Amino acid sequence: DIQMTQSPSSVSASVGDRVTITCRASQYISSYLNWYQQKPGKAPKLLIFAVSNLHGGVPSTFSGSGSGTDFTLTISSLQPEDFATYYCQQSYSAPFTFGPGTKVDVK
Amino acid sequence: QVQLQQWGAGLLKPSETLSLTCAVFGGSFSGYYWTWIRQAPGKGLEWVGDINHSGSTNYSPSLKSRVTISVDTSKNQFSLYLSAVTAADTAVYYCARGLGSTEATMGYWGQGTLVTVSS
Protein backbone atom coordinates (compact mmCIF):
# COMPACT_ATOMS: atom_id res chain seq x y z
CA ASP A 1 0.00 0.00 0.00
CA ILE A 2 1.10 3.57 -0.61
CA GLN A 3 1.44 5.48 2.65
CA MET A 4 0.51 9.15 2.72
CA THR A 5 1.91 11.53 5.32
CA GLN A 6 1.00 15.15 5.99
CA SER A 7 2.65 17.97 7.85
CA PRO A 8 1.90 19.70 10.02
CA SER A 9 -0.79 17.69 11.77
CA SER A 10 -2.33 20.95 12.88
CA VAL A 11 -1.77 24.64 12.29
CA SER A 12 -3.17 27.66 14.06
CA ALA A 13 -3.73 30.63 11.81
CA SER A 14 -5.61 33.91 11.49
CA VAL A 15 -7.90 35.18 8.79
CA GLY A 16 -5.77 36.54 5.98
CA ASP A 17 -2.80 34.28 6.72
CA ARG A 18 -1.09 32.16 4.11
CA VAL A 19 -1.25 28.49 5.03
CA THR A 20 0.81 25.71 3.47
CA ILE A 21 0.22 21.99 4.01
CA THR A 22 2.61 19.35 2.78
CA CYS A 23 1.76 15.82 1.68
CA ARG A 24 4.24 13.08 0.92
CA ALA A 25 3.66 9.69 -0.69
CA SER A 26 5.76 6.66 0.21
CA GLN A 27 6.28 5.96 -3.49
CA TYR A 28 5.88 7.62 -6.86
CA ILE A 29 2.27 8.61 -7.64
CA SER A 30 2.82 10.89 -10.64
CA SER A 31 0.11 13.55 -10.52
CA TYR A 32 -2.57 11.35 -8.94
CA LEU A 33 -3.01 13.50 -5.86
CA ASN A 34 -6.23 15.01 -4.56
CA TRP A 35 -7.08 17.30 -1.66
CA TYR A 36 -10.27 17.27 0.38
CA GLN A 37 -11.68 19.63 3.00
CA GLN A 38 -13.78 18.36 5.86
CA LYS A 39 -15.67 20.34 8.47
CA PRO A 40 -16.94 18.77 11.72
CA GLY A 41 -19.96 16.55 11.20
CA LYS A 42 -19.89 17.00 7.44
CA ALA A 43 -18.83 14.90 4.49
CA PRO A 44 -15.49 15.74 2.91
CA LYS A 45 -15.48 17.96 -0.14
CA LEU A 46 -13.12 17.67 -3.08
CA LEU A 47 -11.00 20.79 -3.34
CA ILE A 48 -8.26 19.96 -5.81
CA PHE A 49 -7.76 16.99 -8.12
CA ALA A 50 -4.72 15.88 -10.06
CA VAL A 51 -2.39 18.06 -7.99
CA SER A 52 -3.50 21.49 -9.12
CA ASN A 53 -6.99 21.46 -10.66
CA LEU A 54 -9.65 23.24 -8.62
CA HIS A 55 -12.99 21.45 -8.32
CA GLY A 56 -16.04 23.48 -9.26
CA GLY A 57 -16.83 26.34 -6.92
CA VAL A 58 -13.53 26.19 -5.05
CA PRO A 59 -12.12 29.70 -4.62
CA SER A 60 -8.85 30.64 -6.24
CA THR A 61 -7.29 31.23 -2.83
CA PHE A 62 -6.65 27.48 -2.89
CA SER A 63 -3.85 26.09 -4.99
CA GLY A 64 -1.91 22.87 -5.26
CA SER A 65 1.48 21.92 -6.57
CA GLY A 66 4.00 19.10 -6.70
CA SER A 67 4.67 15.87 -8.52
CA GLY A 68 6.07 12.43 -7.93
CA THR A 69 6.04 12.06 -4.15
CA ASP A 70 5.89 15.57 -2.70
CA PHE A 71 2.88 17.84 -2.86
CA THR A 72 1.64 21.08 -1.35
CA LEU A 73 -1.73 22.67 -0.67
CA THR A 74 -1.62 26.42 -0.22
CA ILE A 75 -4.34 28.74 1.02
CA SER A 76 -3.13 32.16 -0.02
CA SER A 77 -5.41 34.18 2.26
CA LEU A 78 -7.28 32.21 4.89
CA GLN A 79 -10.99 32.96 5.09
CA PRO A 80 -13.31 32.24 8.03
CA GLU A 81 -14.93 29.35 6.15
CA ASP A 82 -11.54 27.70 5.57
CA PHE A 83 -11.09 26.52 9.16
CA ALA A 84 -11.36 22.77 8.67
CA THR A 85 -9.35 19.57 8.33
CA TYR A 86 -7.59 18.90 5.05
CA TYR A 87 -6.74 15.48 3.67
CA CYS A 88 -4.56 14.50 0.75
CA GLN A 89 -5.34 11.28 -1.10
CA GLN A 90 -3.56 9.30 -3.79
CA SER A 91 -5.56 7.99 -6.72
CA TYR A 92 -2.59 6.24 -8.33
CA SER A 93 -3.15 2.71 -7.16
CA ALA A 94 -5.54 0.78 -4.95
CA PRO A 95 -6.01 0.88 -2.06
CA PHE A 96 -6.49 4.61 -2.57
CA THR A 97 -5.07 5.90 0.67
CA PHE A 98 -5.57 9.18 2.47
CA GLY A 99 -3.17 11.19 4.55
CA PRO A 100 -3.90 11.53 8.28
CA GLY A 101 -5.22 15.05 7.90
CA THR A 102 -4.15 18.57 8.84
CA LYS A 103 -6.40 20.59 11.09
CA VAL A 104 -6.44 24.34 10.46
CA ASP A 105 -7.79 26.14 13.49
CA VAL A 106 -8.07 29.65 14.83
CA LYS A 107 -4.96 31.20 16.28
CA GLN B 1 -26.76 18.93 -9.80
CA VAL B 2 -25.56 15.54 -8.62
CA GLN B 3 -26.82 14.47 -5.22
CA LEU B 4 -26.17 11.26 -3.31
CA GLN B 5 -28.52 10.12 -0.59
CA GLN B 6 -27.62 7.14 1.54
CA TRP B 7 -29.37 5.02 4.13
CA GLY B 8 -29.03 1.84 6.13
CA ALA B 9 -29.08 0.35 9.61
CA GLY B 10 -27.19 2.41 12.13
CA LEU B 11 -26.84 -0.10 14.96
CA LEU B 12 -25.52 -3.61 14.50
CA LYS B 13 -24.44 -6.42 16.76
CA PRO B 14 -21.08 -8.13 16.32
CA SER B 15 -21.10 -10.76 13.55
CA GLU B 16 -24.02 -9.13 11.71
CA THR B 17 -23.83 -7.77 8.18
CA LEU B 18 -23.69 -4.06 7.48
CA SER B 19 -25.90 -3.00 4.60
CA LEU B 20 -25.94 0.52 3.16
CA THR B 21 -27.47 1.89 -0.03
CA CYS B 22 -26.72 5.09 -1.89
CA ALA B 23 -29.11 6.62 -4.41
CA VAL B 24 -27.89 8.99 -7.07
CA PHE B 25 -29.96 11.91 -8.28
CA GLY B 26 -29.02 14.05 -11.24
CA GLY B 27 -26.51 13.20 -13.92
CA SER B 28 -25.83 9.93 -15.65
CA PHE B 29 -25.22 6.76 -13.68
CA SER B 30 -22.98 5.17 -16.26
CA GLY B 31 -19.39 6.06 -16.90
CA TYR B 32 -18.43 6.69 -13.28
CA TYR B 33 -16.85 4.97 -10.33
CA TRP B 34 -19.04 4.61 -7.24
CA THR B 35 -17.10 4.51 -4.00
CA TRP B 36 -17.51 3.81 -0.31
CA ILE B 37 -15.27 5.49 2.27
CA ARG B 38 -15.44 5.23 6.03
CA GLN B 39 -14.25 7.27 8.97
CA ALA B 40 -13.96 5.85 12.47
CA PRO B 41 -14.87 8.29 15.26
CA GLY B 42 -12.19 10.94 15.57
CA LYS B 43 -10.06 9.29 12.89
CA GLY B 44 -9.12 9.83 9.26
CA LEU B 45 -10.64 8.62 6.02
CA GLU B 46 -10.37 5.05 4.80
CA TRP B 47 -11.18 3.95 1.26
CA VAL B 48 -13.36 0.83 1.40
CA GLY B 49 -13.84 0.04 -2.27
CA ASP B 50 -15.52 0.99 -5.50
CA ILE B 51 -17.50 -0.27 -8.45
CA ASN B 52 -17.98 1.05 -11.95
CA HIS B 53 -21.17 1.06 -13.95
CA SER B 54 -20.34 -2.26 -15.56
CA GLY B 55 -19.97 -3.92 -12.16
CA SER B 56 -16.20 -4.19 -11.97
CA THR B 57 -15.12 -3.87 -8.33
CA ASN B 58 -12.01 -2.92 -6.41
CA TYR B 59 -11.78 -3.51 -2.65
CA SER B 60 -9.44 -2.56 0.15
CA PRO B 61 -7.23 -5.57 0.83
CA SER B 62 -7.85 -5.22 4.57
CA LEU B 63 -11.61 -5.67 4.03
CA LYS B 64 -11.69 -7.73 0.86
CA SER B 65 -12.76 -10.98 2.50
CA ARG B 66 -15.82 -9.33 4.05
CA VAL B 67 -16.94 -6.60 1.64
CA THR B 68 -19.21 -6.57 -1.38
CA ILE B 69 -20.23 -3.56 -3.42
CA SER B 70 -23.02 -3.92 -5.94
CA VAL B 71 -24.83 -1.62 -8.32
CA ASP B 72 -28.42 -1.47 -9.50
CA THR B 73 -28.40 0.67 -12.61
CA SER B 74 -32.18 0.42 -13.00
CA LYS B 75 -32.59 2.31 -9.72
CA ASN B 76 -29.45 4.48 -9.93
CA GLN B 77 -28.31 2.96 -6.67
CA PHE B 78 -25.28 1.17 -5.34
CA SER B 79 -24.84 -0.73 -2.11
CA LEU B 80 -22.23 -1.77 0.43
CA TYR B 81 -22.30 -5.01 2.36
CA LEU B 82 -19.77 -5.77 5.08
CA SER B 83 -20.11 -9.11 6.81
CA ALA B 84 -19.07 -10.25 10.27
CA VAL B 85 -18.79 -6.75 11.66
CA THR B 86 -16.92 -6.00 14.87
CA ALA B 87 -16.54 -2.89 16.99
CA ALA B 88 -13.61 -1.93 14.75
CA ASP B 89 -16.10 -1.38 11.92
CA THR B 90 -17.86 1.38 13.85
CA ALA B 91 -17.59 4.43 11.63
CA VAL B 92 -19.36 6.97 9.51
CA TYR B 93 -19.71 5.45 6.07
CA TYR B 94 -19.83 7.73 3.04
CA CYS B 95 -20.82 6.97 -0.52
CA ALA B 96 -19.27 9.01 -3.30
CA ARG B 97 -19.19 9.42 -7.04
CA GLY B 98 -16.06 9.79 -9.05
CA LEU B 99 -15.20 12.96 -10.86
CA GLY B 100 -15.46 12.21 -14.53
CA SER B 101 -14.33 8.72 -15.45
CA THR B 102 -11.33 8.79 -13.14
CA GLU B 103 -11.24 6.17 -10.42
CA ALA B 104 -10.79 7.29 -6.82
CA THR B 105 -11.26 11.02 -7.28
CA MET B 106 -14.43 11.51 -5.26
CA GLY B 107 -16.18 14.60 -6.53
CA TYR B 108 -19.60 14.13 -4.95
CA TRP B 109 -20.39 12.69 -1.54
CA GLY B 110 -23.38 11.42 0.36
CA GLN B 111 -24.26 12.82 3.76
CA GLY B 112 -22.73 9.90 5.67
CA THR B 113 -24.27 7.21 7.85
CA LEU B 114 -23.01 6.44 11.33
CA VAL B 115 -22.85 2.70 11.87
CA THR B 116 -22.25 1.56 15.42
CA VAL B 117 -21.37 -2.04 16.22
CA SER B 118 -22.16 -2.94 19.80
CA SER B 119 -23.49 -5.91 21.68
pLDDT at B28: 82
Residues of B in contact with A91 (CB under 8 A): 102-105
User: Which residue of chain B has the CA closest to A44?
Assistant: B109
Confidence of residue A107 (pLDDT cuts 50, 70, 90): very high
User: How many CB atoms within 10 Å of residue A22?
Assistant: 16
In sequence order, the 6+-apart residues with CB closer than 8 A to the CB of B112 are A42, A43, B6, B39, B92, B93, B94
Residues of B in contact with A49 (CB under 8 A): 99, 102, 105, 107
Look at residue B112 and tell me whether its pLDDT is greater than 90: yes
pLDDT in tens, A6-17: 999 999 999 999
Look at residue B1 and tell me whether its pLDDT is greater than 90: no
